[in-house]
Amino acid sequence: MHLNLPMHKKESRQVYRKILWLVIGLLAPELVVWNAWMQRSQTKALTDAMRDMGFASPRENQELCHNRVHPWTDVHSWYVIMGGLAFEDNAVEELQFMPGTRQRMTLTD
């Protein structure tokens, strides 16, 4: 099971979440197994969906990937499920790729 990554600049709360999951694991280990299984299922579903949208490996489908350097993998999906795939853009305003004046965006499930 992978715990969610801490929110930006709130890393101190992670210790309490780890202790909570330790207690849950001691008292009800089946909840930990169920949670890990659900995370794995969500990861696989997200990877399949992203590959269907064209983020496939260049070897798997040359037409869909548009020669992307980094194809979508299960690792990317794990980070999204864990709430930790974030984009930060500190470029000058005309070169920013995010909508509006956003400088940080986090992808979650």
The pLDDT of residue 76: 85
Which residues have C-beta within 8 Å of that of residue 90, sequence separation ≥ 6? 103
The pLDDT of residue 69: 56
DSSP H helix total and E strand total for the chain: 4, 2
What is the C-alpha separation between 70 and 79, in angstroms, rounded? 15
Which residues have C-beta within 8 Å of that of residue 43, sequence separation ≥ 6? 74, 77, 78, 81
The pLDDT of residue 57: 57
The pLDDT of residue 13: 79
Q: Which stretches in the chain have pLDDT values below 50?
A: 64-65
The pLDDT of residue 25: 93
